[in-house]
Amino acid sequence: MIDFQKKITVHHWMVLGTLSLLLVAASGLLMRMKFLTALPAINQKFLLHAHSHFAFSGWISHALMVLIAAAVCGTGSRENLPRRYQVLIAANLLAAYGMLVSFFLQGYGFYSICASTLTVALSYIFAVRCWRDTARPILDSHTRRWLRAALFFLVLSSVGTFFLAYLMASHNTDSKLQLTAVYFFLHFQYNGWFFFACMGLFHHWLRRCGIVAKHPSFVFWAFAWSCIPTYFLSIPWWDMPGWLYTIVVGAAAMQAIAWGIGLHSLPGKLIGYTHRPAAVAKGLLIGTAIAATIKILLQGLSAIPSLSQLVYGFRPIVIGYLHLVLLAIITLFIMAYAYMNESLLINRRAVVSTVVLATGIVLNEVLLFLQGVSGLMGIFIGHIPYALAWAAGIMVVGLAGLIWSQYISTSPISS
């Protein structure tokens, strides 16, 4: 049996997470190929479930658990996490791979549901342990608040999972109720757990660099209090009373204001910082900030009822929005942070591979939104499915190169 305490470092965990992301991209490419050719041996619905569930647990949650545990424990990239985290992260990764295989083979069935339930139970254990460890003085108060809010939303998001399980067990086929449960899970995962965890890690890095952002309390509380009301933007088919709609619009506006204040307070401080991130990390952070700004603007537009109902009924735009959050914002930030704290090695091959990956992500987003907007306008643009397959292939190539770069000796890139 492998002694995780001695042999697997934070760097190793991040490389394993990147391998998971490669499998996510490969399954995405396979789905694109399924649109272009028959591939009768593959069930598209099963593949979609495997792709999405594994992306959340095997890549994003895995990476965030590793990086947060390292932050709260003060663990370096070449050091081992405390054994309680090593075992927990290993169990989560194994359960995620169990979901990948079982969903691919059977869709929603006994084994896939067991694996999904196990990941939820492990997330609860992680939340409890990490909440206690955030009390350590190694974290400043602002970082602590972001991380604890992330843990709260991680647990809250599981309510959607259990409600969906209840609907399926009771044979309730109301599609709107099922979508309400699915979007509850999605919202509090990517707008709660993922976003707040990334913000907590970023504030932790800022404090380690001696950089203090302006109005940190306002920015945090604006996002914290508005996270729950903005969920209602995800279910436009529900007829909200006027008072609730007013709160939801106000929450969306508050997030836009807080995001603007947060962005405005940082550039000058980062420019004046002597040991700036390497160019690749800086580029990823800029890309993340641009993507997050677009996301905030789109969220504001979704407060218009007629537009929201139209858009949410059109699959390419919904998929584009989800990929904007999960790839262009969360994934690129995790990559940037991993480079900044040296959880991923920076060398020439890693930089080139990251540029290839980012190119694939941008191309994927542009094509998805082009497909969505053209569809809404009744304009047919041929060959977009082929171009989307190429975009997925580019991401696969970039990730394969990035993993390779972590196991070869090349000249390091200076900051």
Give the pLDDT of the chain (415 residues) as one tens digit per residue: 456 566 789 999 999 999 999 999 999 999 999 888 878 888 889 999 999 999 999 999 999 999 999 999 988 888 899 999 999 999 999 999 999 999 999 888 889 989 999 999 999 999 999 999 999 888 888 999 999 999 999 999 999 998 988 888 888 878 888 889 999 999 999 999 999 999 999 999 988 887 777 788 999 999 999 999 999 988 877 888 888 989 999 999 999 999 999 888 776 555 555 455 678 888 999 999 999 999 999 888 887 776 676 666 667 788 888 999 999 999 999 999 999 989 999 999 999 999 999 999 999 999 998 888 777 777 777 788 899 999 999 999 999 999 999 986 444 444 4
pLDDT at 172: 81
Chain centre to alpha carbon of residue 401: 21
Rounded Cα–Cα distance for residues 195 and 394 (Å): 26
Of the CA atoms within 13 Å of residue 275, those in its CB half-sphere come to: 8
Burial code of 225-245, b = ≥16 C-beta within 10 A, e = fewer? ebbbbbbbbbbbeeeeeeeee
Report residue 24 as tokens.
């996510």
pLDDT at 258: 93
Report residue 202 as tokens.
């970023």
The helix (H) or strand (E) run that includes residue 78 is: none
Of the CA atoms within 13 Å of residue 381, those in its CB half-sphere come to: 16
The helix (H) or strand (E) run that includes residue 311 is: helix 305-312
96 φ/ψ angles, rounded to the nearest 5 degrees: -65, -40
Rounded Cα–Cα distance for residues 269 and 80 (Å): 32
Q: pTM, whole model, 2 decimals?
A: 0.93
Report residue 294 as tokens.
């677009």
Neighbours of 357 (CB within 10 A): 28
DSSP per-residue string spanning 275-304: SPPPHHHHHHHHHHHHHHHHHHHHHHHTTS
- What is the SS3 assignment for 347? strand
